[in-house]
Structure 1
Amino acid sequence: WNLVFMQYEQLPGGERVPLPKPSIDTGMGLERIASVLQGKNSVFDTDLFQTLIAASADATSTDPNGEMAASHRVIADHLRSSSFLIADGVTPSNEGRGYVLRRIMRRAMRHAHLLGAADPLMHRLVPTLVSEMGEAFPELKRAQAFVEDTLKQEEIRFRTTLGRGMGLLEDASRDLGEGGVLSGQTAFTLYDTYGFPLDLTQDEARRRGFTVDTDAFDAAMNEQKARSREHWTGSGQTASTGEWLALRDRLGPTVFTGYDAVEGSGEVLAIVRDGASVDDLSAGQTAEVLFDQTPFYGEGGGQAGDKGEIEWTDASGQQGSATVLDVQKHAGDLFAHRIEVTTGTLGIGARAQLRSSAQARLTTRANHSAAHLLHKALANVLGGHVAQKGQMVDAERLRFDFSHNAPVTEDELARMEDEVNAVIRQNLPAETKMMGPQEAIAAGAVALFGEKYGDEVRVLTLGRDLAEADKPYSVELCGGTHVARTGDIALFKIVSESGIAAGVRRIEALTGEAARQFLLAQAGVAKSLAQSFKVQVADVPARVEALTADRRALEKQVAELKKQLALGGGGSANAAPEEINGVKLIARVLDGVDGKGLRGVAEDFRKQVGSGVVALIGVTEGKAAITVAVTSDMAGKVNAADLARVAVIAMGGQGAGGKPDFAQGGAPDGSKAEDGLAAVRAALAD
């Protein structure tokens, strides 16, 4: 066993205090118990893994116990961890837990590549995992479709970058022998540009018999972080987490009175300016102020902090006022009011009148409640895999981020709008109840993955289910402010839907008067277009479609004319191919032709050259696009992707992609087009 004896709490000064209940963590988890009970020497030989390993071996037609056995084990283990993370609402990204997931996924996907899997593999193994573990973990069944799609899309993306990254690794390690060291800068480029985690590069290095200069990698990483800090402009020094915790211990929590009121009074308990506690604050100064109680909401749960104003009269009878710029929560339940004093002097012990903006609170409540309704509508329309990935609601609008691997269609958006507005029209009272977190979740309340909840939580219920009236529509744990009745939201309108990260979408929406004004503006645009086209408003879409078709036809004609000009415009365009190292080459710079246009020209030139290589660089708006085409008889001797890559690098770009017989890429500096062609010639001559 892996015994860990837990006996003391070590304090910051080094003192050790005995724990009230000393204990021993045996480390004897499910997999080790299974190994003992099944008489196996390795967890990978137990039934927990063998079915997954067999599925991996079958899908790749390889021996599960041969020299690639380790790859099957990595795939089985990482498939499980990835699937559970995705089912819990984590999606691959470049930071936080999303980056941990991406590292796990990509390591498994690299081993799938080593096994010779020609197509994405991981998602094809999910049904086997669900069959094995779905009964004990029903969340896997519920999220199966989303897990499969997330794994598939990530593997498709990784395979695209894998080829480019492996090309760089091949070039950088070509001269490294057994025991050689790959430069840390190369490892960092693989990480920064191609998404190769360091451990994946180290895996590949070990397989080839060399190591990675991790010190240089760390130096490059720290240099990048330093550059990022240089470009960040802070908003002034503030107290540290430890200092806020100390204030919380000394002063206790702030009492929030804003669920029922937007005005109230509070005594100044502390003033923090430039990271340090001060006794008072004069006109023109800005600081964070703690009151014993407040009607101002502190930013949290995706709801923005309140703004407003405060007024007071000091001991000498002098009046003062300040503007509340923002309110943030620290140490869990300290409400720090960032204020700017406009008149007078505010000191500790003063009692002030606190007034949050009533109108802003009204619209913020509507937007926050609408966000809850949208969350439920998303799950109803798109599926149970939808998980909230973030939100921000304020007095202007609501923004809701959620996990989903495809753009939301217009029909789906319309169904969500209809559903939310139907619940709004119910005009039922919002119900709030204080419960224990587990009790609330057992009752059906939605809890957010990664959120920390106290011993008691606020449960908000909005509306009744549209299909089963005896069931509530939305039940969530939330400490924010909300409408008294669903009808207070008045109107809900989605204004945009977009992708913000791999597997994460964002919806922005308006409520109430803002939604009405948006619809009026949209109607005004339609009316203006109708007047310009001299048609009825209902006929505007057909008129726009006709104009779009006309434009496409003209663009096609222009592209064809550019192509003909490139092929038969006289001068160098009709010159005979040059010959380099026994290979015929047609190399041209074509002004005004983009990457899409180059494809057709390259195909025609490839027919013209008969046997050889075509390298074309189009220059548009100062940027360069390159297309390299190789005739079929030369494909085994010359690689189009390699030639495109050297040309792009010569023009200041980072790489190109494609197949051995056809590749394309782009670079930021079109003035270096001739340098790109020169690099192609040099590569052929090498």
Structure 2
Amino acid sequence: MSADYPTMTTAEIRSAYLNFFKEKGCKLYPSSSLVPDDPSLLLANAGMNQFKEYYQGKKTMKEIGACSCQKCVRTNDIDIIGADGRHASFFEMLGNFAFGGVTKEQACAWAYELITEVFKLPKERLHFTVFTDDDETHDVWRDLGVAEDHITRLGEDDNFWAAGPTGPCGPCSEIYFDLGEEVGCGREGCAPGCDCDRFLEFWNLVFTQFDRQEDGSMPELPHRNLDTGMGLERMAAIMQHKSSFFDGDVMQSLIKLGEEISGATYVDDDYSGASRSLRIIADHARSVNFLISDGVLPGNEGRGYVLRRLLRRAVFHGRLLGIEDAFLGRFIDAVNDVMGEAYPNLIENAALVKGIVSAEEERFSNTLNNGRVYLDEQLAALAAGEQLPGKAAFMLHDTFGFPIDLTVEIAEGAGHAVDIEGFDAEMAEQKARARAAAKGDAWGSFNDVWTELSDELPATEFMGYDHESVEGARVLAIVVDGARVKTAEGGVDVQVVLDRTPFYAEMGGQKGDRGLIDSDSGQVLVRDTVSKGGLYVHEGTLSGTLSEGDTVFAGYDLERRALVRRNHTATHLLDAALKEVLGDHVNQAGSLVAHDYLRFDFTHFEALSSDQIKAVERLVNREILAAKPVVTRVMGIEEAKASGAVALFGEKYGDVVRVVSVGEEDRPFSRELCGGTHAANTAELGLFKIISESSTGSNIRRIEAATSAGAIEWLENRAALAEQAAGALKCRIDEVPARIASLQADVREVNQKLKAALTGASSDAISSAIEGALDADGYKLVLAQLSGLEGSELRNVWDTIRQKVSGPVACVVATVTEKGTPALLAAATDDAVSAGFKAGDVIKEISAHVGGRGGGKPTMAQAGGKDASGIPAALDAARALLGL
């Protein structure tokens, strides 16, 4: 690409774009989280997402418009990534938005000024598309000086945006950069819209000006909206005189790291092999880093599944490049080096991200190994040149996380093709199921009663930080069975909205308050309080009559709130203690704060040892016994962060926050952003006791604990159990452990004697089986189902058979384990193997009868299964296989 315009780095382009629109009077908005507030969206995938309420008219903007650089993740084209220079899972979208404040003429003029005067792109290399019927935009570009042959009209598929069959819609105008004839198809008249790669689209202006009706008519919206988007990575490629998304400075720094780690060589115009894998790793590493930093954790559905799939594809392509060791942590560091200044939360969460990535990388490596065993078995069962069935390939994809290209590569190496059509059919069925279960698009309707009420009513004034009750609160709304009513009669369940309330609504893991709403004509026994769109909703049973406009008394259950407050403060102490004992990678991943116990989920990569649990308990109880003050201050978000306050992982905060500190102001034990209610002093907690520690999924641990009354009750229950055990064992409580150990030793001795009797030389069952041995061709074959044994003890049976039978001998023996599952063993002496008995082949053939699979060497092989009733059929199958 010729150097007929200046070069700019990605950071310079981002800064120039945002500064340009700020100077035009647009307000700069920071990127929203990849986890959107909109429940209809899985991930933020466009700059317009955070402005949806402005488009819908629910909010108004005093500035002329807005601008932002939004981080985005899209995975609909994940299989194409790396195979061309234009698709990616993560990208940054530079956007300019307006809601009636900017005309179409202004928007186009600004775009033209930016790209020709700031970025200084040559006008002769710029091309513009407009919707077929959009003469208005065509004329705007022409009047700005764009030549007629540089304006192309395209149809609805390319240049018309719609929220859905009905609703907001409007024409688009896209701006393209001409990469040169040498890149294109060579066809005369080649222009934007051609399938070749000559014209690179980098900016799209959407003019949302119509409201399409069910009859197809399109009246104008009350005001015209503007939604523009410029792909930062595409613009970086252009400004750095490259032709591919992956050839800009940011992506190239990651690709070079991949070259360094793998020893592979990147070729910019090679879209296969090592170059494709290097692109995929670079792209996916960015996505993984940003997703985890925004609070997404690996899982099997939703956002967690997207993250896990990206992470596993990156690991797989590392394997294709010959990288056997963990490597993604180095990519996380590299992403932070080039993007951490623009996105500080990457740096803040680096330890956590690397810990999660490392654990997932190790887990998937094991999965790859297990999947390889399954694939090898499937390939071994195929005849020469036979295709691997599509169902088996899909099983590898769906269960073992094998990308199809990995399956194809391994299968081809073994001389087999893969039934891709069958695989695609299985994938299509899965996608159809996913679509059927998917939620609506970003403009989905939420027209339930609470949406209407939250639009109409002011947000509830919460007075529960300082007041136990409120006199003179006014009833703003009553909902019965999902419908708003003016008056409700006694005996029904109601949801009541007050103008102000002392009741805490369930948020941040803290359970909502219970209590009483009382008026002259009725009472509501409140059993829960929840938040819906800024409204505090009191749910309970009404006695008497209640009407909108009534003046009421509202008071919460003081004793229950006190217990909840103590447990909430305990979660803060627990979080700080875990960080001190385990490390800074610990982050809260969820919590539940009730009156009787607390539950705390946190990021960690292995189970806590008993010593670690004790250390955490001691730290928390140390703070409780020290009777430290718990102080809450209200401050700006930046001041809060500067004070060292801990923000919850993945949580979103407003400009003003509450900061809860435990301990001395200059060196608190804990300081967190939190809107919940808390004890005034740690001494109120009395005692902290961890009840359990467990796993809730990959990289997430869970602690359940209790304080004050809950902890005392738990200890009392444990003491009662200890007394019952002592009574049953007829000893003192302090003698219980020694008494149990003595009994266990006695049981082990009895079991050993029993196993020796069952498997030793004197075993009647084995002797009977040997007496009934079959004469095979050159060896004796013992077939038997034995009772009272575990699978591991079948080897002892084989030892006994070898001792009692002289000459060549083989066996196929089975048992039902204590858990009710079947176990099979086939074994043979070397002479029997020479005579034709192959233990591994026998087990592989018969294990399906017990719902399992297995294998091994010719001299010994074992299998487990799920269906013990199939043991007789398995033994019959062995007899038939051996011709007996």
TM-score (norm 2): 0.63
- 2: CA distance, partners of 1:438 / 1:682: 78
Which of residues 560, 574, 577 in structure 2 aligns to 1:377? 577
Call closer, same or farther: CA 1:219–1:149 in 2, change over 3 Å: closer
8 Å contact kept, 2:296–2:650 = no
1:5 lines up with 2:204 in the alignment: yes
1:623 lines up with 2:820 in the alignment: yes
Output aligned runs, 1:647-686, within 5 Å: 647=846, 649-651=848-850, 653=851, 655-656=852-853, 666-678=864-876
Call closer, same or farther: CA 1:346–1:78 in 2, change over 3 Å: same
2:367 aligned partner: 158
Call closer, same or farther: CA 1:273–1:221 in 2, change over 3 Å: farther
- 2: CA distance, partners of 1:363 / 1:159: 48
Give the SS at the match of 1:28: helix
Output aligned runs, 1:441-520, within 5 Å: 441-464=641-664, 470-520=666-716
8 Å contact kept, 1:269–1:291 = yes
8 Å contact kept, 2:328–2:358 = no
Give the SS at the match of 2:607: coil
8 Å contact kept, 1:378–1:416 = yes
Output aligned runs, 1:434-445, within 5 Å: 434-445=634-645
1:592 aligned partner: 788
- 1: CA distance, partners of 2:685 / 2:827: 62
1:211 lines up with 2:421 in the alignment: yes
TM-score (norm 1): 0.79
8 Å contact kept, 2:368–2:400 = no
- 1: CA distance, partners of 2:303 / 2:273: 32
Give the SS at the match of 1:344: strand
1:26 aligned partner: 231
Q: Supply the AA of the counterpart residue of 1:334.
A: L
CA drift of 1:151 comes to: 3.1
1:68-107: CA deviation from partner (whole Å, max 9, x where unpaired): 5544554454455445655666442212332222212322
- Compare 444-453 and 201-210 and name the one that shifted more: 201-210
1:322 lines up with 2:521 in the alignment: no
- 1: CA distance, partners of 2:862 / 2:488: 63
CA drift of 1:372 comes to: 0.9
- Which structure 1 segments of 5+ residues have no match? 59-63, 228-238, 314-318
CA drift of 1:585 comes to: 6.5
1:182 aligned partner: 390
8 Å contact kept, 2:356–2:699 = no
8 Å contact kept, 2:233–2:245 = no
CA drift of 1:259 comes to: 1.4
1:300-343: CA deviation from partner (whole Å, max 9, x where unpaired): 11111222232222xxxxx3223222222112x212222122x2
- 2: CA distance, partners of 1:391 / 1:133: 29
2:618 aligned partner: 418
8 Å contact kept, 1:87–1:385 = no
- 2: CA distance, partners of 1:603 / 1:190: 38
8 Å contact kept, 2:854–2:864 = no
Q: Supply the AA of the counterpart residue of 2:603.
A: S
1:196 aligned partner: 401
- 2: CA distance, partners of 1:576 / 1:389: 61
8 Å contact kept, 1:429–1:485 = yes
CA drift of 1:109 comes to: 3.6
1:27-54: CA deviation from partner (whole Å, max 9, x where unpaired): 3379748975899974698332222333
Call closer, same or farther: CA 1:134–1:578 in 2, change over 3 Å: farther
- Compare 587-596 and 268-277 and name the one that shifted more: 587-596
Q: Supply the AA of the counterpart residue of 1:251.
A: L
8 Å contact kept, 1:325–1:339 = yes
Q: Supply the AA of the counterpart residue of 1:146.
A: G
1:560-596: CA deviation from partner (whole Å, max 9, x where unpaired): 433337796322355436759x998755333332334
1:359-389: CA deviation from partner (whole Å, max 9, x where unpaired): 1111000001101110111111011111212
CA RMSD of aligned residues (A): 4.5
Call closer, same or farther: CA 1:606–1:524 in 2, change over 3 Å: same
Query: Which of the two has higher C-alpha Rg?
Result: 2
Percentage identity across aligned positions?
33
Number of aligned residues = 646
Call closer, same or farther: CA 1:665–1:177 in 2, change over 3 Å: closer
1:308 lines up with 2:515 in the alignment: yes
2:314 aligned partner: 108
Which of residues 354, 357, 361 in structure 1 aligns to 2:557? 357
8 Å contact kept, 1:123–1:148 = no
1:288 lines up with 2:495 in the alignment: yes
Give the SS at the match of 1:362: helix
- 1: CA distance, partners of 2:209 / 2:389: 41
Q: Supply the AA of the counterpart residue of 1:330.
A: K
8 Å contact kept, 1:606–1:614 = no
- 1: CA distance, partners of 2:371 / 2:746: 41
- 1: CA distance, partners of 2:273 / 2:456: 63
1:233 aligned partner: none
CA drift of 1:400 comes to: 0.6
Which of residues 297, 311, 334 in structure 1 aligns to 2:504? 297
Call closer, same or farther: CA 1:189–1:37 in 2, change over 3 Å: closer
CA drift of 1:299 comes to: 1.2
Call closer, same or farther: CA 1:28–1:502 in 2, change over 3 Å: closer
- 1: CA distance, partners of 2:465 / 2:436: 43
1:258 lines up with 2:464 in the alignment: yes
Q: Supply the AA of the counterpart residue of 1:248.
A: S
- 2: CA distance, partners of 1:114 / 1:461: 50
- 2: CA distance, partners of 1:573 / 1:10: 89
1:231 aligned partner: none
1:51 lines up with 2:257 in the alignment: yes
Q: Supply the AA of the counterpart residue of 2:870.
A: K
1:275 lines up with 2:482 in the alignment: yes
- 2: CA distance, partners of 1:570 / 1:164: 37
CA drift of 1:19 comes to: 6.9
- 2: CA distance, partners of 1:668 / 1:495: 34
CA drift of 1:541 comes to: 3.5
8 Å contact kept, 2:515–2:557 = yes
- 2: CA distance, partners of 1:533 / 1:423: 39
- Compare 428-437 and 70-79 and name the one that shifted more: 70-79
8 Å contact kept, 1:298–1:329 = yes
CA drift of 1:240 comes to: 5.5
- 2: CA distance, partners of 1:65 / 1:222: 30
Give the SS at the match of 1:623: coil
Call closer, same or farther: CA 1:628–1:531 in 2, change over 3 Å: closer
1:394 aligned partner: 594
8 Å contact kept, 1:38–1:46 = no
Q: Supply the AA of the counterpart residue of 2:747.
A: R
- Compare 449-458 and 502-511 and name the one that shifted more: 449-458
8 Å contact kept, 1:615–1:626 = no
Q: Supply the AA of the counterpart residue of 2:769.
A: S
Call closer, same or farther: CA 1:152–1:627 in 2, change over 3 Å: farther
2:755 aligned partner: 559
Call closer, same or farther: CA 1:74–1:498 in 2, change over 3 Å: same
Give the SS at the match of 2:580: helix
Call closer, same or farther: CA 1:28–1:91 in 2, change over 3 Å: closer
